Amino acid sequence: MSFKHMFTSSVGKKLVMAFTGIFLVLFLVVHAGLNACIWANDNGLMFNKAAHFMGSFVVPRVLEIGLFVGIFLHIIQGYMLTLENRSKRSVGYAVNYSKGSKWYSRSMALLGTLLLMFLIMHIYHFWTPSRLGGIGAIQGLKTFELNGTEYHNLYAEMQAVFQSPFVVILYVLACGSLAYHLAHGFQSAFKTIGVHNKRYHAIISSIGYGFAILIPLAFAMMPISFYFNLVK
Amino acid sequence: MAHNNLNLKLKVWRQKNANTTGAFVKYDVNDISDEMSFLEMLDVLNEKLIVTGEEPIAFDHDCREGICGMCSLYIDGKPHGPWQANTTCQLHMRAFKDGDTITIEPWRSNAFPIVKDLTVDRGAFDRIIQAGGYVSVNTGNAVDGNSLPINKDDADASFAAAMCIGCGACVAACKNSSAMLFLSAKVSHLAQLPQGEPERKSRVLNMVAQMDKEGFGSCTNTGACEAACPKEISIANIARLNKEYLRAGLTQE
């Protein structure tokens, strides 16, 4: 049994989805936590400092590479699995069996595609200007000065982006997709890595549903806060 | 209890063999007692078809007691019909109302090719069992049953998994045509007993490899299999299968 065999069988591919999924769940915690600095109500000072730390310190930059690898693996593997699984039933049913499972557990690929579309927009809005463009290059990203050093003003970027009600609606809808994707994905990932003990499964299910509500809610509140001028 | 007779319309999948394309054919069946089983209703229809010189509908069945796993049929969008924890042979016509239209389809999965009409070839399950769903025991006198102590809870959990009759409803219900509930029941059955210990790692690896070779899909934990299973095999077995696979895959030479 080689490792290649182990991770390319039907169960192995699930394991790849589960491990990358749990890694992305951890990323969401970090992302939501850092972004919550916008609510410090200090005109973005704490948030900009946090964003500068993440963008300039070596540890988060190395982890960022891991994040991109994880995201790509999760997306590519997800699509390949979906196509492969669909090919296993050439002739479909006249009456579909939908009562035995939740709609979102059957729609992970659709929800994931919506998230991918959101991700492209999101990276265009915030990641490319601050990481690739250098200071102030793309979209005229604003800067601010602190103790004689120039920093990206991502807070001002957020303020600018979330002035458009259309963008705010898209972000909130994406948070809805994320909520349902997590509602199934969180507990399913732990089942896939072998948690079958009923006591632990009950705990993980509860945490999963809580996570699927709270994290997307926190994210959705960010564009809403900016749009309605709730942060100063 | 009142005895009722039903007049029903059936939409049945007819297909001559694996190489032809099939289609739904409509039949009227009248004066069906609601005390009949679903298969007896089909028997009545087949008797009628034989008399009129038509080809009777082919469907699988054997014990008609709900324990052999031979009957199948995807009835009105659910494997084994509308009742919970029930096989098609134990489904009775009182589950339906007078005038109902019932759609009857075969199990749909490329790993279960259609032999004729509603009969599919479930040989893939046999080959998965052959790949490791057994314990190797040397011949000789039977060992005394009490010589090997087994925790009662483990024995019960093993027996719950061993309830699987291998009918294939899990595959039919799964949107991915995955056989993971079947396989996990067979692996969990033996993994929880000391008799299964010697071949524990090779069993799960070989059975998963055979399942992939047969062309089943992979599991996404939707839970449709568990809901359709006539023996209520728990989806927790799939998590146990994953654990067994991870353990064997990481430690096998």
SS3 string, chain A, reads CCHHHHHHCHHHHHHHHHHHHHHHHHHHHHHHHHHHHHHHCCCCHHHHHHHHHHHHCHHHHHHHHHHHHHHHHHHHHHHHHHHHHHCCCCCCCCCCCCCCCCHHHHCHHHHHHHHHHHHHHHHHHHHHHHHHCCCCCHHHCCEEEECCEEEECHHHHHHHHCCCHHHHHHHHHHHHHHHHHHHHHHHHHHHHCCCCCHHHHHHHHHHHHHHHHHHHHHHHHHHHHHHCCCCC
What average pLDDT does the structure give for chain A?
A: 90
Please tell me which residue of chain B has the smallest CA distance to A197.
Answer: B236
Interface test with B, best of A6, A9, A10, A74 (most B CBs within 10 A): A10
Instruction: Say yes or no: B213 contacts chain A, CB-CB below 8 A.
Output: no
Provide the pLDDT for residue A231.
Answer: 86
Mean pLDDT of A54-72: 92
Q: Please, which residues 98-127 of chain B have a Cβ atom closer than 8 Å to chain A? A: 103, 105, 108-111
Q: What value of ipTM does the predicted structure carry?
A: 0.89
Mean pLDDT of A87-116: 94
Provide the pLDDT for residue B33.
Answer: 94
Provide the pLDDT for residue B124.
Answer: 97
A93, A188, A194 member nearest B246 (Cβ): A194
Please tell me which residue of chain A has the smallest CA distance to B210.
Answer: A9
What average pLDDT does the structure give for chain B?
A: 94
Distance CA A53, CA A55 (A): 5
b/e A21-51 (16+ beta carbons within 10 angstroms → b): bbbbbebbeebbebbbbbbeeeebebbbebb
Q: Between B54 and A53, whose confidence is greater?
A: B54
Q: Would residue A94 count as lying in a domain?
A: no
Q: Label residue A22 by pLDDT band (50, 70, 90).
A: very high
Please tell me which residue of chain A has the smallest CA distance to B75.
Answer: A95
**Residue A189's CATH number:** 1.20.1300
Please tell me which residue of chain A has the smallest CA distance to B226.
Answer: A100
Mean pLDDT of B215-239: 96
User: Which residues of chain A are at the B interface, by a Cβ-Cβ cutoff of 8 Å?
Assistant: 1, 3, 6, 9-15, 81, 84-102, 105-106, 108, 184, 187-188, 191-196, 198, 201
Verify whether the Cβ–Cβ distance B216 to A6 is below 8 Å.
Answer: no
Q: Label residue A98 by pLDDT band (50, 70, 90).
A: confident
CATH architecture classification, B123-251: Orthogonal Bundle (1.10)
Provide the pLDDT for residue B142.
Answer: 79
Mean pLDDT of B212-238: 96
Verify whether the Cβ–Cβ distance A192 to B175 is below 8 Å.
Answer: no
Provide the pLDDT for residue B1.
Answer: 58
Provide the pLDDT for residue B205.
Answer: 96
Provide the pLDDT for residue A127.
Answer: 84
Provide the pLDDT for residue A141.
Answer: 61
Q: What is the pLDDT of residues A107-149, one digit of tens each?
A: 999 999 999 999 999 998 888 877 776 554 455 566 777 777 7
Q: What is the pLDDT of residues B144-187, one digit of tens each?
A: 878 889 999 999 999 999 999 999 999 999 999 999 999 999 99
Verify whether the Cβ–Cβ distance B105 to A85 is below 8 Å.
Answer: no
Provide the pLDDT for residue B252.
Answer: 86
Instruction: Say yes or no: B158 contacts chain A, CB-CB below 8 A.
Output: no
Q: What is the pLDDT of residues B67-96, one digit of tens each?
A: 999 999 999 999 999 999 999 999 999 999
Q: Which residues of A touch B228 (CB under 8 A)?
A: 97, 100
A91, A98, A191 member nearest B221 (Cβ): A191
Instruction: Say yes or no: B81 contacts chain A, CB-CB below 8 A.
Output: no
Verify whether the Cβ–Cβ distance B239 to A97 is below 8 Å.
Answer: no
B105, B111, B215 member nearest A93 (Cβ): B105
Q: Would residue A196 count as lying in a domain?
A: yes
Q: Would residue A190 count as lying in a domain?
A: yes
| AA identity, residue A139 | Q
Q: Label residue A100 by pLDDT band (50, 70, 90).
A: confident
Verify whether the Cβ–Cβ distance B215 to A106 is below 8 Å.
Answer: no
Q: Which domain holds residue A181?
A: 3-86+106-227
Domain assignments of chain B as residue spans, ordered by start: 5-115, 123-251
Q: What is the pLDDT of residues B16-73, one digit of tens each?
A: 998 999 999 999 999 999 999 999 999 999 999 999 999 999 999 999 999 999 999 9
Q: Which residues of A touch B178 (CB under 8 A)?
A: 10, 85, 88
Q: Which residues of A touch B210 (CB under 8 A)?
A: none
Instruction: Say yes or no: B224 contacts chain A, CB-CB below 8 A.
Output: yes
Provide the pLDDT for residue B253.
Answer: 81
For residue A145, with 0-12 CB atoms within 10 Å meaning exposed, 13-18 middle and 19 or more buried, which class applies? exposed
Residue A164 has pLDDT above 70, yes or no: yes
- The share of chain B scoring above pLDDT 90, in percent, equals 91
Q: Would residue A191 count as lying in a domain?
A: yes
Distance CA B69, CA B35 (A): 22
When divided into structural domains, chain A yields a total of 1
B110, B209, B223 member nearest A90 (Cβ): B110
Verify whether the Cβ–Cβ distance A100 to B228 is below 8 Å.
Answer: yes
Q: Between A5 and B107, whose confidence is greater?
A: B107
Please tell me which residue of chain A has the smallest CA distance to B212.
Answer: A10
Q: What's B56-124 look like in SS3?
A: CCCCCCCCCCCCCCCCCCEECCEECCCCCCCCHHHCEHHHCCCCCEEEEECCCCCCCCEEECCEECCHH
Verify whether the Cβ–Cβ distance B223 to A100 is below 8 Å.
Answer: yes
Q: Which residues of B touch A1 (CB under 8 A)?
A: 205, 248-249, 252-253
Provide the pLDDT for residue B147.
Answer: 86
Q: What is the pLDDT of residues B4-18, one digit of tens each?
A: 899 999 999 999 998
B24, B176, B221 member nearest A188 (Cβ): B221
Q: Would residue A98 count as lying in a domain?
A: no
Q: Would residue A14 count as lying in a domain?
A: yes
Provide the pLDDT for residue B180.
Answer: 97
Mean pLDDT of A54-79: 93
Please tell me which residue of chain A has the smallest CA distance to B177.
Answer: A88
Centre a 10 Å sphere on the Cβ of residue B109 and count the other Cβ atoms it contains: 26
Top CATH class, B5-115: alpha beta
Provide the pLDDT for residue B141.
Answer: 84
A84, A106, A196 member nearest B222 (Cβ): A106
Contact B193, A60 (CB under 8 A): no
Mean pLDDT of A196-208: 94
